[in-house]
Structure formats: C-alpha cells, structure tokens
Chains A and B, each alone.
Chain A
Amino acid sequence: MSVSRLRLKVGILVLLLLLNAVLIIGYTLVKDGIFEKKYSYYFSSYSADALNVGMPVKVSGFTIGQVDTMKLLDDGTVKLSFTVNEENQKWVSQESLLMIRKPLIGSSYIILYSAIGNPILEEGSTIQTLISNDINDLVLKLEPIVLKMENIVNSVDKITTYLAKDDSELMKTVKNIEKFSETLAKNKSLLTTITGDKKATESFIKTINQLPLLVNRFNNISSDVHKDILPLFTQFVKQLGEIAKDIELKLKTLDGVVNSVGSYDKDLISIKDQIKVGISKSNELIQKVDSIFQDKKNQKVDLP
C-alpha cells in the first residue's frame, strides 16, 4: 500500500473519530447545562440530615435544579444553595416555598411550591423552607394507635386471666362438655345416650330398618287409593283395632275358661256366641272395605 493511500485512510478514520468525540462531548456538555447561565438561591435547614450536594429540586415531579453548596453556620443552622437554569427560573417566584421531603423509602428531595403568577424572585434571595419528614410523621401518627393497642392487649390479658380460673363460666362449661363427651364415648351410640335404654334403641333400629319396606308397600297401595278414601279407611282400621282388642280380651277370658272346661259350659256357650257376633261384624267390615277397593264409585261404608 502506498504512503498516500495509507495516510488517506488513517486521516479519514482519525477525522471520523475526532468528529464522534466532539459530538459526544458537545452533547454531554449541552445536556449537563455547562454553557447555560445559572441562577443561585438560598435556603436554610436546622439539620443537614438526609441532605446532600446534588440532590434535586423538583416542581410537579420534574427536576428543575439541584443543591450546589451546604454550609454550617455559627448559629448551628445549615445554609444551602441551589441553582436553576434560565428556562426554569420562572418557577422560583416570590412567596414560593421549599419543602425538604424525607420519604420513608428512597432518597430525599426538595419540592418547590411555586406561586405561579407572582414576579420571578431575584437571584441570591433566600426562600422559606418546610420539612416533611415521613418517618417522624409516621411515628407521630402511630403513637395513639400504639396506645390503643396497648389498652386492648391489657384488656385481652385480663379476660384470659379470668377465663383461665377454675371457677370461671368457661371452665365450668368445658367441664360439662367433658362429662358429656365422656358419656358419649362410653355408650354404644348417641341414641342410647339420649334414650338411656339399650332395648329401646334396638327396637327403634329394627323399626327404622323395616320402615323402607313398609313405606314401599304403602306407596304401592297409596298409588291405587284415592285421597278421599284415606280418612275413612283410617277410621275403619281404628274400629278394627278396637274389635281386635275386644277379641283379645275375650280370648284371654277363654283361656281361663278352657282351663276349667267342663264345669263352665254355660259360660263357654255365651262366649262362643259373642265371638261369633264379633267375627261376623269384622267379616262384614272387611267385605265392605274390599268392596271399596273394588268399586271406587261406591265409596260410602255403613258401619255395623
């Protein structure tokens, strides 16, 4: 490669690199506002805690300037200065206020509450400052809540102490429940516990077991029986029961009579007659019931 060609290539590249460097340096200088005129303002704080050089000054969340200097004065207060550029100087108007915000999370910043419409504040003026300390505010707000919480905890402590005593209502109830559960554990079933009789329980269980069968039968019958017949049928059944009881009594009497067969012929004959009457009555009644089931039209039954 010839020297002139080499020089040309190197020259182009060096120019490109220099141009790139100039553009980047120029961009950063303009962006950082090196060439802009700056206006300084002052404010004071009782402490430099959470304050530092370079912290932003914001208006409506936008950074318009930053803290430049911090100085401890003889009276113990801290004097700070911040600068804004020409574009943002309009926000620093007369009667504007600064608030040093110390949030619970994140770094501190300064909010400028601008009095819009007022004339621009003269450079070098001092602005009044408020301090918003989220941590201290939170502690102040939490203080009454903590006191209330303390009272609640004391009350809960008293209640639990009373309840823990042997003669307290709760302890008595617990003892009763204990007894009840003990009884439950000893007996075979809950039903035995309620009724207090094992036999009753067994018969009840048997009845319950038979109940589905009966219910099925009753369902079959009831499907054929008209609703109006049911009250009459119930009445007939009651009467039949009474007759059956009567027969039972007489049979018992007969049982005694049978024992002395022979000597009481007259009694026997009279009883037999009575039985015959009873049976004929019951036959009549059954026939009538049968006729009801066979002929639904004639639903009336005359009682014997």
Chain B
Amino acid sequence: MDISNNKKESVLIKQFLENTGEKVIIYLIEIYEFIVFFLSCSSKVFSFNTYSEKSINFLFEQIYLSVVKKLSIYLFFAILFGSTLILAIISMAINLSFTENIIKLLTSMIINELSPIFCTIFFILTYSLSSHEKIKGLKKDNDKLIETIYIPKIINACITLPLISLFFSSIVFISGFIVSSFYFKVDFLTYKELVLSSIGFKDILFLLIKTSIFGFIAISIPIYFGHKKQSEVYRYTEFIIKMLTIMLSLIIIIELLFVMILY
C-alpha cells in the first residue's frame, strides 16, 4: 500500500517537473524567436533597399490611422490634463509657497511620466492592439511582409509616438497657461518663471528616448503575435490579454529603469 503511494507521489513530482521544464523551454524558445525576428526586422530598417513606394504609402497610411485620425482625442485629453494639473501646481505654488524644487519635480513628472505613459497606452488601445489581426489578413497576399508591413509599422510607432507625446506635453502646458491666466490672472512671465523654466533639455531627451522605446514595444508584440499565428482557430480575447500583459510588463520595467536613471 505504502509502496504504491510512494510511486504515485514520485510520478506526480516527475509530471510537475516535466510540465515546468516544458513551459520554461517553450517560453525560452518564444523569447529566442522574438529576439531573432526583431533583429532581422531591425537590420532591415537601416537598409535603403527596404523602402519601396508601397512601403512608404503604407507608412503614410499607418501615420494617418494612428495619429491624424485620433488627433482630436489627443488634444481633448491634453487640454483636460493641462487645465487641471497645471492649475493644481500653480495653486499649490501660490497658496503653500512651494519651493522651486517641488514645482520642478511636478512639472518634470508631466513631461517624463504622464505624457509618455498616457500617449503609449492610448496608442496601444486605439492602434497597435488591433495590428495582429490586420497582419493576419495581410499575410495572405504579401510575400515581403517585413519590408512592406512590419518596418513601416515599427517606424511609425518609434517616430510618431515621441512626437505626439511631445506635442501632448506642449498642449498640456499651453492649456495650463490659458486656464491659469483666467483663473489666477497669471501673466506669461510669471508662468514662464514658475513652470516653463523647470523644463530642461534632459527632460525632453528622456521623453523622446522613452516614448521611442515604448513605441517599439507597443508595436513589436502585436506584430510578432500576428506573424506567428498560423492556425485559423484561436481565442481572440486570450491573445489580447496575453499581448497586453506582456506589453504593460515591459513598459513598467522600462519606466522603472528610466526612473532609476533620471532621479
């Protein structure tokens, strides 16, 4: 009786180890495939022969779909955040006699944290998350996938996301000035001394680099999943959740790294 129980236990442990090992091997292979896939894509980004008429048209289309079409929503949120956050910062500065350092910290938080994270999440939800489904459709009648589809998408994400993020920050500060000038009668020189003087070149540089990396993460995961998908039968929601989890985890890791470097 005891011997049969011991055998069962050893079988269960063996199964557990096998399953764990299998999962680890699967994930390692997936990570390896992911790295190889994007190294091959990245190597072609800097090659002049990659860019054909078709790929440039596709790039324009992607910029239009990701930014131009959603510009009004970006502007709406930028004005909303600007009028509330900047107003709160100026209110604190006036009422609580906050020191220069705290104003600087709050202002740089808008540039370094709010603007990149908001724009990246908005970009993921409105554009990049649906990319894998579109790639699935494009795969059927395209033999040069990397050149004509993947690379324009990557370039779009890596260039337009930093630019729109910087634009978002500008609108935040402009709307902040307009609202505070009406609400607190703050003139431009005071606003410049209080808020704009806190923005340094380093902050702008960090914003551009960070959003560029975020953009790469936001587009590369859906492209990879769309490219890898072979079977017609799959669970859409499961795929979306898996992609979102990976993207957000990577964004948080990158964010933490930047926080460690910046502060």
Interface of chain B residues 173 through 224 with chain A (CB within 8 A): 196-197, 199-201, 203-204, 208
Contact across chains for A24 and B166 when beta carbons are under 8 A apart: yes
Contact across chains for B57 and A10 when beta carbons are under 8 A apart: no
Contact across chains for B201 and A29 when beta carbons are under 8 A apart: yes
Given A3-B57, A21-B166: A10 and B64 interface contact (C-beta under 8 Å)? yes
Tell me if A138 counts as interface (CB < 8 A to partner B). Answer: no
Interface of chain A residues 27 through 86 with chain B (CB within 8 A): 27-29, 31-32, 34
Residues in B with CB closer than 8 Å to A7 are 60
Q: With A and B bound together, what is the CA distance between A29 and B200 in angstroms?
A: 8
Contact across chains for A28 and B60 when beta carbons are under 8 A apart: no
Contact across chains for A6 and B64 when beta carbons are under 8 A apart: yes
Given A28-B199, A28-B200, A32-B200: A17 and B68 interface contact (C-beta under 8 Å)? no
Residues in B with CB closer than 8 Å to A24 are 166, 169-170, 199, 204
In the complex, number of A-B residue pairs with CB atoms less than 8 Å apart = 56
Tell me if B71 counts as interface (CB < 8 A to partner A). Answer: yes
Contact across chains for A9 and B201 when beta carbons are under 8 A apart: no
Contact across chains for A6 and B170 when beta carbons are under 8 A apart: no
Given A18-B163, A24-B170: A6 and B61 interface contact (C-beta under 8 Å)? yes
Contact across chains for A25 and B204 when beta carbons are under 8 A apart: yes
> Smallest CB-CB separation from A29: which chain B residue?
B201
Q: With A and B bound together, what is the CA distance between A75 and B34 in angstroms?
A: 56
Tell me if B157 counts as interface (CB < 8 A to partner A). Answer: no
Q: With A and B bound together, what is the CA distance between A14 and B159 in angstroms?
A: 10
Q: With A and B bound together, what is the CA distance between A21 and B61 in angstroms?
A: 22
What DSSP secondary structure best describes chain A's contact surface? helix
Q: With A and B bound together, what is the CA distance between A13 and B71 in angstroms?
A: 9
Contact across chains for B67 and A13 when beta carbons are under 8 A apart: yes
Contact across chains for B170 and A31 when beta carbons are under 8 A apart: no
Tell me if A20 counts as interface (CB < 8 A to partner B). Answer: yes
Residues in A with CB closer than 8 Å to B201 are 25, 28-29, 31-32, 34
Size bracket, chain B contacts: 20 to 34
Interface of chain B residues 58 through 89 with chain A (CB within 8 A): 60-61, 63-64, 67-68, 71
Contact across chains for A10 and B166 when beta carbons are under 8 A apart: no
Contact across chains for A6 and B60 when beta carbons are under 8 A apart: yes
Q: With A and B bound together, what is the CA distance between A152 and B196 in angstroms?
A: 57
Residues in B with CB closer than 8 Å to A34 are 201
Given A6-B60, A6-B61, A6-B64: A28 and B204 interface contact (C-beta under 8 Å)? yes
Residues in B with CB closer than 8 Å to A10 are 60, 63-64, 68
Q: With A and B bound together, what is the CA distance between A17 and B203 in angstroms?
A: 18
Tell me if B160 counts as interface (CB < 8 A to partner A). Answer: yes
A14 touches which of B57, B63, B200, B203 (Cβ 8 Å): B63
Interface of chain B residues 7 through 59 with chain A (CB within 8 A): 57
Supply 5 further A-B pairs (C-beta < 8 A) apart from A3-B60, A24-B204.
A20-B163, A21-B163, A28-B203, A31-B199, A32-B200
Listed in ascending order, the chain B residues whose CB lies under 8 Å from chain A are 57, 60-61, 63-64, 67-68, 71, 160, 162-164, 166-167, 169-170, 196-197, 199-201, 203-204, 208
A-B contact pairs, 25 of them (CB 8 A): A3-B60, A10-B60, A10-B63, A10-B68, A13-B63, A14-B63, A14-B163, A17-B164, A17-B166, A17-B167, A18-B163, A20-B163, A20-B167, A20-B170, A21-B167, A24-B166, A27-B196, A28-B200, A28-B201, A28-B203, A28-B204, A29-B201, A31-B197, A31-B200, A32-B201
